[in-house]
Amino acid sequence: MSITDQLLALRRRPDQRVAMLQSWRDLLFLHRRVDPDALRKLIPKGLELDLWEGEAWIGLVPFRMEGIRPAKLPAVPWLSAFPETNVRTYVTRNGQPGVWFFSLEAARWAACAFARTFYSLPYHHAMMQTSRVGDELRYASRRARDFRAMVQIEAQVTGDPAPAAPGTFDFWLVERYLLYAERRGKLFSGRVFHDPYSIAPARVSLCEQTLTDPWVPAGEWEHVCVSYGVDVEVFPISRVQDTTLG
């Protein structure tokens, strides 16, 4: 099965109970190539780097979350909406391509604690702001316990949004519906479901950030796109077995 077929298979809605509902808005996808050998040392055993034409990519994705709530319960205004930023790469295991998160920032301490406890994700509490006025997007973040970990980005949408065509590089980057996480040497996976992203080309006019510094040397972003958002169903994570996932 090709990587495109594997990604398309994971785009189908899982036959599982929904754990949470949330909306992701004004996502800015920044990506650049990195040395696969250097990156390979940073992912846990049991996962392989997912490469595009032999090259590894690292991503920085700031966005805004809204309407976060357990399934069948109402959203709590203060807790249910906040900015987030993640640093990621792409991995696979047994024909199941997904996302590996190096770090995630969120503006609500309680949300960080929840995600660390129940999803084994490396969240950090940060002071964050996002805004969009027309085609202009701005993101700012500074980690609460380490002011050196920061982001300040300004970007402009330069084209019309459209779904990424299967088999393209855009599709390989953004159409990811599986995450992997590690806790105490054990590997977990979890699914999300949403409509395919409509993405628009964009350019970055300002980018000052240190979030990727612990993982890779500094570099210019080679691929930039924006999605105005999707509504998401989040499913529980589960331990990865020898022959099956999730």
In the prediction, which pLDDT does 124 show?
A: 98
For residue 105, tell me if it sits in a domain. yes
Amino acid type, 179:
L
For residue 157, tell me if it sits in a domain. yes
Read off the tokens for 101: 């998160």
For residue 99, tell me if it sits in a domain. yes
Which residue ranges of the chain lie beneath pLDDT 50? 242-246
**CB within 8 A of 245, min separation 6: which ones?**
93, 94, 96, 178, 189
Task: Compute the mean pLDDT over every residue in the chain, rounded to the nearest whole number.
Answer: 95
Q: Quick one: 215 exposed, middle or buried, by C-beta within 10 A (0-12, 13-18, 19+)?
A: middle
Closest CA to 69 of 103, 110, 38: 110
Each residue's pLDDT tens digit, 195-234: 999 999 999 999 999 999 999 988 999 999 999 999 999 9
DSSP string, 132-146: EETTEEEEEEEETTE
In the prediction, which pLDDT does 76 show?
A: 74
In the prediction, which pLDDT does 77 show?
A: 73
Number of domains composing the chain: 1
CATH of the domain at 104: 2.40.400.10
In the prediction, which pLDDT does 72 show?
A: 83
For residue 244, tell me if it sits in a domain. no
For residue 245, tell me if it sits in a domain. no
In the prediction, which pLDDT does 95 show?
A: 95
**162 vs 28: CA distance, rounded Å:** 15
What's the domain range around 129? 3-239
Residue 197 DSSP symbol: P
Amino acid type, 193:
F
Closest CA to 47 of 112, 101, 92: 92
